[in-house]
Structure 1
Amino acid sequence: MTISVYVPLVVTVLLAVLAPRVTRQRAPRPAAWSLACAAAVTATGWLGSLALLAFTAFAQIPEVAEEGHWSVAALRTHDPVDLSVAAVSALALAAGLVSLGVASARQVRHLMWARRECGRMPGDTELVVLDDDIPQAFALPGAPGRIVVSRGMLRCLGDAEREALLAHERAHLRGRHHLFQTVWRLAAAANPLLRPLAEAGAFALERWADEEAATRTGSRTVVARAVGRAALASAAVARPAALAATGGAVPQRVQALLSPPPPPRTLPFAAGAVLLTLCCVSLANAASDSENLVDSAEHACCAATPHVQHGPGLCTESCGADERNEHGKHRS
């Protein structure tokens, strides 16, 4: 457990540093999927490793050992994890779980707000045109979702650019990009080190929608012009908490659209898959070692009390209580 329990933590740091740089140069759709998988797996591995490390301190509490019928002395002998490391892990785990709970509630409220807004929009068509001079355009996820565009935005664009803008927003709805955002936000809440993955993921979603819009319209230049003009028109407008064509790093998006489509490359994604597999295997191995450690501590508890009648596989003697009493004698 000594080495394997730290592997998910190391993998998390590596992916947080390397993945955003690599995926910005790759095809956006597989990049978004890869970042979502990486965020989900590494966040789970991070919390799992912290839980296993924290358990080494929690299990050595005499009252806990008494309830679990295992030997505190055996745990201290066979588990080399320092108690200060276990204590810090316990605090980080508690903070991560609280943050994850708050972020989950926030995401639920956001999705409920989006669905209510979809229901309040006039008409029953996918496109909703607001009689508003403020330039804005965004997609609201729902069942089904809606595309909201103001007349002020439509006046800023030509016919071909309007078509590109709508194709971009449709790509957000069709790809259910709000679910990707939810995964990244929850992962970043559980582990702040994953925030670069969330930022890179948001950029990948906009690039994904850009590429689909370019395919639909048949012109990468028109999409680039639509993105640029829409961003300039809405530069001074507060953006809603929704997917919008003016989101992300617009200059980089325009530059990517004015260049040939990125070629598909499997090597970076294969390397990421190897790291995620290593994270999962190491966490499973650490959990197995932790279980074996507890079993050994239970057997040590039973062996220390041979005068007690034991049930099959169960030590009924309270080793935790005996060791607590012994500790009290030494103190006195």
Structure 2
Amino acid sequence: MLWRRARTLTAAALEAACMPAEDDLIVIEGEAPNAFAIPGLPGRVVVSTGMLHTLDETERHILLAHERAHLACRHYAFVALAQFGAAANPLLRPLATAVTYTVERWADENAAAATGDRERVARTVGKAALAAHDAPGRAPGAALAILGRRSPLAAAGPVPRRVAALLAPPFGRHPLLAAATAAVLAITALSTAEAAHDLHLLLEAVGA
């Protein structure tokens, strides 16, 4: 899994570097509505003419803000690490799926902050998803919410839940939750290091 992800990201970076772009944007000819970000140094945002014709000028700005957020925040790294963890431990597969959904929500919120219109971003997300639904090579994927709270949208797909989240009031900052998350991650890292050290001592004892 690590080799496959590293090879994929390296190929994407090389492809992005070879693509001539103006302000990191590449427009490709094609009737199928499509838009995606290619990680690299620098990264590229690729949008088809079909998608540009589907959206109006404001919606195009929102789309570009969303895709550029993926590049600026290194979302591909979060997804790759989560998928690698799920490959090492199958119990982490729901977490990997949640990370994939959450980076989309992250990019949605960045687009909302950049444009100042959450409702317009919600409409653009829904409109672009409907336009791309029948595009060749694109298949809708399921995603799980991080906290798994029961709600009328608990069984809905990722796009309806993203739209509902954008139409709801934005979340406030929760420093205690952030501190608790950091503490859990630190404890997990220390526990892993301690377990590795204990295993090393055990193997030394067995070898002796």
Task: Report deviation, 1:185.
Answer: 1.4
Give the deviation of 1:284 after TM superposition: 4.8
The correspondence for 2:138, drawn from 232, 239, 247, is 239
**Higher relative contact order, structure no. (Cα contacts within 8 Å, ≥ 6 residues apart):** 1
Give me the TM-score of the superposition, normalised by structure 2. Answer: 0.80
Q: 2:179 aligns with which of 270, 284, 289?
A: 270
After TM superposition, the structure 1 = structure 2 runs for residues 303-314 of structure 1, keeping only pairs within 5 Å, are: none
How far did 1:138 drift?
0.6
Consecutive unaligned residues in structure 2, runs of 5 or more:
140-156
Q: 1:236 to 1:266 in 2, by over 3 A?
A: same
Note the aligned Cα RMSD (angstroms).
2.6
Query: Where does 1:195-234 land on structure 2 (aligned, <5 Å)?
Result: 195-234=93-132
Between Structure 1 and Structure 2, which shows a larger proportion of helix residues?
A: 1
Greater C-alpha radius of gyration:
1
Q: What is aligned with 1:114?
A: 12
Cα 1:152–1:274 shift into 2, 3 Å: same
| Residue correspondence of structure 1 range 1-332 to structure 2 within 5 A | 103-237=1-135, 238-239=137-138, 249-286=158-195
The one-letter code of the counterpart of 2:138 is R
* Offset at residue 254 of structure 1 (A): 0.5
Q: Once the two structures are superposed, what CA deviation does each residue of 1:54-86 show, in whole Å capped at 9, x if it has no partner?
A: xxxxxxxxxxxxxxxxxxxxxxxxxxxxxxxxx
The one-letter code of the counterpart of 2:33 is P
Q: Structure 1: give runs of 5+ residues left out of the alignment.
A: 1-102, 241-247, 302-332
User: What is the letter of the counterpart of residue 142 of structure 1?
Assistant: G
* SS in structure 2 at match of 1:222: helix
Q: Which amino acid aligns with 2:66?
A: H
In the TM superposition, residue 286 of structure 1 has moved relative to its aligned partner by 4.6
Tell me the secondary structure at the aligned position of residue 33 of structure 2: coil
Distance 1:291 1:263, change over 3 A: same
1:316 corresponds to? none
Q: Percent identity?
A: 49
Distance 1:126 1:288 in 2: 46
Number of positions where the alignment pairs a residue of Structure 1 with one of Structure 2:
190
